[in-house]
Amino acid sequence: MESVRAVLIDIDGVLTVSWKPLPGAVAALRAVRDAGLGVVLVTNTTSRSRASVAAALARAGFPVGAEDVLTAPAATAARLAGARVALLNSGDVGEDLAGITLVGDRDDDVPDVVLLGGAGAEFGYEALNRAFGRVRRGARLVAMHRNLYWRTEDGLRLDTGAFLAGLEAAAGVEAEITGKPSRAFFEAALGRLGVGAEQALMVGDDVEYDVLAAQRLGITGVLVRTGKFLPRTLERASGRPDHVLDSFADVPALLGLSSPAA
């Protein structure tokens, strides 16, 4: 694949599960970087800031820094700059939300936007009902992603998309998505790398939101059978990935690179 100059890589389920490296992933990423290819980690992770994500990966041995990470919260902050925002999220990503004003839970705190990040214990009835009421009163509904679930070392866990669908149906609106699979998110990654879509490869474990979304922009899509991958999801997908690999450890071979040292 001589035309590939850069690789976009999902993190959770591709490089790590519960922030622990998947077999061969560290060596494979080193091989990609040693070949001189551009790298950007594109993640819908909303529980950590870019700096925290990079630090966790570096501790696990991955050759990355904060400048290599594009998160859904960072992309969201750029999109919503200047807005008053009611945030429902599990985790602390405040440092990546510069430029927006977060409002509290009081009824007189009227937001321009109701923003959903990653799901967790915070997504209880009261919080979702408050979000519903604010959207009904005119606030825009924005979500960092639509992921239905993700994989942890304890198995699959529900994510924001499972709650967002009900909120959209109840309020009669469709949320704007700022992370994957939005076109703007992938275009931001390509812009950071300075390459065209035809020169990039996207590696992910979500066939719809990672792989097929990237392919619609002309990026070569690679689905890995790790993380949240399920055979039935691939069978029911809206399209076919350009490539399906067992894991990220197989990416150097796909690119025609030398086998990475373990």
Q: Dump pLDDT digits (tens) for 202-211.
A: 999 999 999 9
Residue 96 belongs to domain with CATH number: 3.40.50.1000
Look at the chain and report how many structural domains it folds into. Answer: 2
Whether residues 233 and 220 share a domain: the answer is yes
What's phi and psi for 157, nearest 5 deg?
A: -130, 140
Question: In the prediction, which pLDDT does 260 show?
Answer: 65
Q: 101-116 pLDDT, tens per residue?
A: 999 888 777 899 999 9
Residue 76, domain member (yes or no): no
Whether residues 193 and 168 share a domain: the answer is no
Q: Which domain holds residue 11?
A: 6-44+180-255
Mean pLDDT of the chain: 94
Whether residues 142 and 160 share a domain: the answer is yes
Whether residues 172 and 93 share a domain: the answer is yes
Type of residue found at 45:
T
Question: In the prediction, which pLDDT does 259 show?
Answer: 64
Whether residues 31 and 99 share a domain: the answer is no
Residues of the chain whose pLDDT is less than 70? 259-262
Residue 190, domain member (yes or no): yes
Whether residues 147 and 104 share a domain: the answer is yes
Whether residues 86 and 171 share a domain: the answer is yes
Whether residues 89 and 134 share a domain: the answer is yes
Q: 26-66 pLDDT, tens per residue?
A: 999 999 999 999 999 999 888 888 999 999 999 999 999 99
Whether residues 118 and 31 share a domain: the answer is no
